[in-house]
Each structure stands twice: as structure tokens, then as C-alpha cells.
């Protein structure tokens, strides 16, 4: 009888771990769809965050240039 309870507890722990991993994956996917970056919570500057910000600035400059040269 005790092995049945042990197996049930192990299954519950494994199911909890799988649920936690799936929640984290879906949470990160949802954040990326909403535009929240992985570096949004960084408190110190890192190379990836600096590259991301530089890319955003260059894209913003390109958008401004295309709007000025566009004719209606």
C-alpha cells in the first residue's frame, strides 16, 4: 500500500514540474508577443541589451527617413 502512495507523490511532483516548465515557456512567448523583451528586467547594462537598443534606434531612424521621402 505504501508504494502506491509513493508513486502517487512522485507523479504529482513530476506533473507539477512539467506544469511549471510549460507555464514559464508560455509566459515568455506571451511576453514576446506583447513586445516585452528579455532584457526589460535587467538592472545592469549588458551587451545584448545595448545591441537591442541600438537596433531599435536604427530602425526608428529608417522609419523616419522612409516617411520623409514618401510621396502621396
Number of domains observed in the structure of the chain: 1
pLDDT for 10-45, tens place per residue?
999 999 999 999 999 998 888 777 776 666 666 667
- The DSSP secondary structure of 33-44, one letter per residue, reads HHT--GGGG-SS
According to DSSP, residue 71 is labeled -
Distance from C-alpha of 60 to C-alpha of 53, rounded to nearest angstrom? 11
Q: Supply the range of the domain harboring residue 63.
A: 2-35+44-69
pLDDT: which is higher, 47 or 3: 3
Contact 48, 39 (CB under 8 A): yes
Amino acid at each position: 500500500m505504501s508504494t502506491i502512495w509513493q508513486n502517487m507523490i512522485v507523479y504529482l511532483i513530476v506533473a507539477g514540474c512539467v506544469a511549471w516548465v510549460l507555464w514559464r515557456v508560455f509566459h515568455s512567448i506571451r511576453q514576446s508577443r506583447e513586445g516585452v523583451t528579455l532584457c526589460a528586467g535587467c538592472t545592469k547594462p549588458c551587451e545584448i541589451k545595448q545591441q537591442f537598443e541600438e537596433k531599435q534606434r536604427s530602425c526608428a531612424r529608417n522609419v523616419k527617413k522612409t516617411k520623409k521621402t514618401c510621396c502621396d
